Amino acid sequence: MKKFLLSGAIVALALSTAAAADIPGLQKGSPVIKSISALAFCPQGCLFIGDPASQTIFAVNTADSTPSGTGDLNVEKLDEKLGSLLGVTGKDVKISDVKVNPASGNVYIAASRANGPAPVIVRLGRDGSLKEFSLKDVAFASVKLPNAAGEAITNMAFVDGKLIVAGLSTEEFASTLRVIPFPFKDADQGAGIEIFHGAHGKLETKSPIRTFAPYRVSGADYILAAYTCTPLVRIPVSDLKAGAKVKGSTIAELGNRNRPLDMVVYTKDGKDYLLMANSARGVMKIPATGVDKVEAITARPKGEKAGVGYETIAELKDVTQLDALDGGRALLVIAPQGGSVSLKTIPMP
């Protein structure tokens, strides 16, 4: 009996080792994370965690790189479920970020209690199961952000072997974009980059980035950045060099009622689009190729079968988090004022 169990255990261990991608530059340990304001993934399943309270970025191997299913993910009462782990009721839960692990398709959610930043990371499996992602005895690395006193880490993305981190100062009106090579090197913590934008050709000002999304076109990497003012600009990643002042090219002027919270870039019918969660206007689709008009989707796509239960995207208000589930679908977190929070899958429009 014992022998059988032992060999079973060995098989299980072998399977789990095969599932864990080999990510360089990490050491075993239990990182202490004080807060989480942003998450990001590398293609092999390395989870990056932005901790503004300790001004540190962590990289953790999730050991979750086996494709885990392709179905839609829809979860009701997500706030209550997260609250259960945190020990509070649903209304006292604050969700900081939601990101899909591209290596497995599982979803990672950073949440905390409304009265304090101590976080928990929860893995939502493609089968709908929710489990805490423990930071005990994991392979990890960390890098402290220099000169980042009082900075909110708003956005991160892994592009071409580097982690791009956008921060917003709590004091100066400053935009910081840092490009941090990965694996993290002690000496190289990423260089600060100042972003300018032009407005109607006359005045240039510094402008913090509110949110950004990476994308690739014609073999080159770009980021699409939504500023705290209005413009949506495209910046080549190759321009993001240490100590540089960078001006992006405006691809859209968003009006005041567009408050971009989250964005992803996707391709449909050979064209690139930006899908943007906007607290006032629902979910919007913007051509990424430089058209000034922003269109809100209102029509139900043609050919939809009756009874599929599809909601028009313009009615999807209160979307607070957005990520690509895969090339053809988006994952939304919907948090209406005073209502319960749900997670929903929609096709890319």
**Binders in 142-181 for other proteins, by CB under 8 A:** 149-150, 152-154, 168-174
Alpha-carbon distance values, 231 to 132, 155, 240, 247, 300 (Å): 38, 17, 18, 12, 29
CB of 345 to other proteins, least distance (A): 19
Q: From CA 32, how far away is CA 148, in angstroms rounded?
A: 19
> In terms of CB distance, is 201 or 327 closer to other proteins?
201
The footprint of other proteins on this chain (CB under 8 A) covers a number of residues equal to 73
Burial class (CB in 10 A: 0-12, 13-18, 19+), 240: buried
Binders in 23-62 for other proteins, by CB under 8 A = 37-38, 52-53
Answer for the pair 284, 314: CB distance below 8 angstroms, yes or no: no
Q: Which stretch binds other proteins (CB under 8 A): 1-9, 156-164, 198-206, 216-224?
A: 198-206
> In terms of CB distance, is 143 or 153 closer to other proteins?
153
> In terms of CB distance, is 20 or 85 closer to other proteins?
85
Answer for the pair 222, 216: CB distance below 8 angstroms, yes or no: yes
Chain centroid offset of residue 57 CA: 14
Instruction: Give the single-character DSSP code of 186.
Output: S
Binding other proteins by CB under 8 A: which of 56, 59, 81, 124?
81
Whose structure tokens read 């209502």? 339
Q: Which stretch binds other proteins (CB under 8 A): 21-29, 75-83, 266-274, 300-308?
A: 75-83
CB of 131 to other proteins, least distance (A): 8
Q: From CA 261, how far away is CA 142, in angstroms rounded?
A: 26
Answer for the pair 340, 92: CB distance below 8 angstroms, yes or no: no
User: Both tokens of residue 314?
Assistant: 């313009």
Does position 271 interact with other proteins (CB under 8 A)? The reply is no
Q: From CA 274, how far away is CA 283, in angstroms rounded?
A: 10
Binding other proteins by CB under 8 A: which of 7, 84, 238, 298?
84
Nearest Cα neighbor of 111 from 75, 162, 137, 72 is: 75
Binders in 226-265 for other proteins, by CB under 8 A = 228-230, 243-245, 253-257, 259, 261
Whose structure tokens read 């006193």? 149
Binding other proteins by CB under 8 A: which of 40, 46, 57, 86?
86
> In terms of CB distance, is 205 or 289 closer to other proteins?
205
Does position 199 interact with other proteins (CB under 8 A)? The reply is yes
Does position 74 interact with other proteins (CB under 8 A)? The reply is no
Helix (H) / strand (E) element for 16: namely helix 2-19
Cα dihedral value 145, 147, 153, 156, nearest 10? -50
CB of 219 to other proteins, least distance (A): 27
Does position 117 interact with other proteins (CB under 8 A)? The reply is yes
Does position 130 interact with other proteins (CB under 8 A)? The reply is yes
Does position 96 interact with other proteins (CB under 8 A)? The reply is yes
CB of 253 to other proteins, least distance (A): 5
> In terms of CB distance, is 218 or 337 closer to other proteins?
337
Binders in 287-346 for other proteins, by CB under 8 A = 320, 337, 340
> In terms of CB distance, is 26 or 95 closer to other proteins?
95
β-sheet bridge partners, residue 344: 332
